[in-house]
Amino acid sequence: MRMKKFRFSWSEFASYLLIAVGALMASFSVVCILIPNDAIDYGTAGIAIVINKLTGANLSLCVAMVFIPFLIAGFIVLGKKFGIKAILGSFFYTIGLSIFEEIPFELNTEHFLAVVFGGAILGAGLSLILRYGGCIDGSEIFANILLKKVSDKTGNNFSMTPILIVFNACVYAAVFLLINRNAALMSLLVYVVATSIINHFTDHFEAIKQVTIITKNPEEVVKAIKKELNKTCTLMDSYGAIAGENKTLICYINYFELSKMKEILANSPGCFSTVSTIDEIIK
C-alpha cells in the first residue's frame, strides 16, 4: 500500500506564521494599550471584554468561551482550511491575552493618542490575519455564514458591511449602557482607526470581490468553482493577441472565499486572473 506523500509548502507555513504574529499584535494592543485607556476591541472580542468587565472573570477565558461557538460554525460551514486558520488565529490571540496580562506595560500619553496608537496596532495585526486567510472575530464568521446561506438560496451576492455595522453598533450600545459613555466613544475611535488600517491593506475585505479569469479550459474551472464554492460564472468570448481565442469568466465571491478560489486557479494551468472590489451590484 503506497502512502500519500506529504507536501510541505513554505508559503502555507508563512501564512500560518503571519496569522500567529497578527494575533499576538492584536492581543498586545487590547491588553496593554486599549483596556488600560478605557477602550475595548470590537466584534465578539468586544463582547468578551464587556463580560470580563461586568463579571471580573478571566479575560482570556471569556474570549475563548465567546469565540468557540463561532469557530465551530465556521469550521463546519466555511470549510476546513478556513476553520484551521481561524482556530489558529483565535488560539494565539487568546494565548497572547493571557501572556500580556502578566507583563507590566504603561503608555504614558493622553488617552486619545494611546487609543489611536492601539487601534493602529490592532488594525495592523488584524490585517495580517485577514490577508493570509485567517479570522479571529466571530462577527466576521457570523456575517460570512449568513451571506453564504442567503447567496446559496437566492443566488445573489451581498456585502458584509451592513451586518458588521449592525453587530458592532449593538456591542457599542452595550458598552454605552453597561460600562460608560467614555468607554463607548473611545471604543468607537478604535473601530474607526482599526478598520481604516484593515481596509487599506486588504482592499475593503467586507466588500464583494469580482474575479475575472481568462482561460482556454472554462469547463473545468466552472465545474471546480461550482463544486468548491457553489458559485456560478458569466462566460464571454475573448481573444488574446498571442494566445488567440479563449474564454473570459467573471465570478463574484467574498473576501474569505478568495483563498479557495486561488487554490482552484492554481490547479487549473493556463489561467490568468484579476481580482477587483465591487461596492454594489445592481440588478
Give the three-class secondary structure for 250. strand
Q: Specify the CATH architecture of the domain 208-278.
A: 2-Layer Sandwich (3.30)
Q: How far apart are CA 161 and CA 88, in angstroms?
A: 25
The series of mean pLDDT values per 10 residues for the chain, 283 residues long, is: 52 88 94 89 90 90 92 84 88 93 80 90 92 85 84 76 89 90 89 90 84 90 88 88 86 85 85 86 70
Q: What is the pTM of this model?
A: 0.82
Q: How far apart are CA 278 and CA 283, in angstroms?
A: 14
pLDDT of residue 51: 92
Q: CB-hemisphere CA count at 13 Å for 264?
A: 25
Q: How far apart are CA 28 and CA 97, in angstroms?
A: 7
pLDDT of residue 7: 53
pLDDT of residue 2: 45
For residue 267, what is the DSSP state? T
Q: How far apart are CA 178 and CA 175, in angstroms?
A: 5
pLDDT of residue 134: 84
Rg of the chain on CA atoms, in Å: 21
pLDDT of residue 12: 80
Q: Domain ranges in the chain?
A: 13-202, 208-278
pLDDT of residue 95: 94
Q: Which residue has the cell 479575560?
A: 59
